[in-house]
Structure 1
Amino acid sequence: MKRSFAFFMMALAMLAACGTAVDDESGLGQSLAVLTNRGGAAQFVPRFTALIERDAPRLQVAFVEQNVSADILLERQDGPFAYWLSSDGTHIILENGMLHSTRGLGEGLLASDLKQPLALVLSLQEGWSDRFHTYLDGNDFAVTRTYRCLIEDRGPEEIDLFGTPTATRLMRESCRSLDQEFVNLYWVASSGRDIVLSRQWAGPVIGAISTRIVPR
């Protein structure tokens, strides 16, 4: 049985001390959400509990429209793909920091072809690109959409990664299809060219997701 988006939001709310709204381009704001075990380990899937015990890397994730956030944990790294696990077993998969897919969120994002936007964003270049999303609709059919995107360099910006000042460059991706449009924001670290902070669109049901790397 597929987990619903609402069930996942309940699981995040259990972990979050509180959530904060996400600004448009001036930064994502400091979230007070901190992963704790106060809810009791029995409420977590065993894989998640094992990751806590191993002190796995953490990613702060926030669902912007729902104003809820918490940390999720890195379950595995497969080349450029990072599989981040929530307490209820839901996955958010990032490809070099860019949102590739989700698992367990109902009408979620099954897969994305991100070769063109990734090449521009990580090299800090402006230009046009295409991206392709495959969604699972309410009837369990896979639907693929094509988006034409303009990537712009919005300049240098120093951000605070949980007390660590980090020099980044803000890249803005504005995408449009025949009937949908969205904007993604990426803060790319000047050192290493990693996406350390982002706000990315996950689809019409989920909306925007923000991610923030939690330093070890």
Structure 2
Amino acid sequence: MAALLRVVNPEVGMISPRTRERMVATLRAAGIENERVLTAMAQVPRHLFVAEALASRAYEPVSLPIGWGQTISQPLIVARMLAALLDSGEPQRVLEIGTGSAYQTALFAALGMEVFSIERVEGLHIAAKELLQRLQIPTVHLRLGDGSCGWEELAPFNAVVFTAAVPCALPPLFHQLVPGGCLLMPQADVADEQRLKLYRWNGQDAEEEDLGGCRFVPLLSGTVNQKDHIGA
């Protein structure tokens, strides 16, 4: 965490810590009670994870585009996911499917987790790698690839977290969890309604908990080369 506290941002200008404090106050008012989550979100500079033109909006309660048709999730949904993970245990090794901007990746690390994160879009993967290196976060391992099959050679994990919506829980990923681990994912039904689901795995079966509505981009297969830009 100390490395994050030393971060300065000469490119984007001065974003006052009070701006993050206001975001945290909004999260608290919205029902986020986990103090570790709130502390991490007060310290990780979200404005570094969006384009310079959007930096002034980084702490607003909205999702923002990050290129290649992807978004950085609004702070409240990120806080809900982090709180759900901590409430389900103390995950040490987390597999993240969809690095995206790497904001949530950095928060996992700030909370003391070792993170294994897979991103299918090369441009996002490269940007995330450069930023996390600049922030001197040592407990993150990034991979370019299709994350729908997980990262079997580095399993097992204490938690698997999806940052894109899928129609159902993917059975192979349960077998990359330790008994007592959890799978956290936005799940879309046939009408494209999405619910945030937490599955607790006992080694043979999974217990499902519905954490409420959400809205994420859909999980896609394959990889996207950096030159194949598909939208801002």
Using the size of structure 2 for normalisation, the TM-score is: 0.30
Higher strand fraction: Structure 1 or Structure 2?
Answer: 1
Higher helix fraction: Structure 1 or Structure 2?
Answer: 2
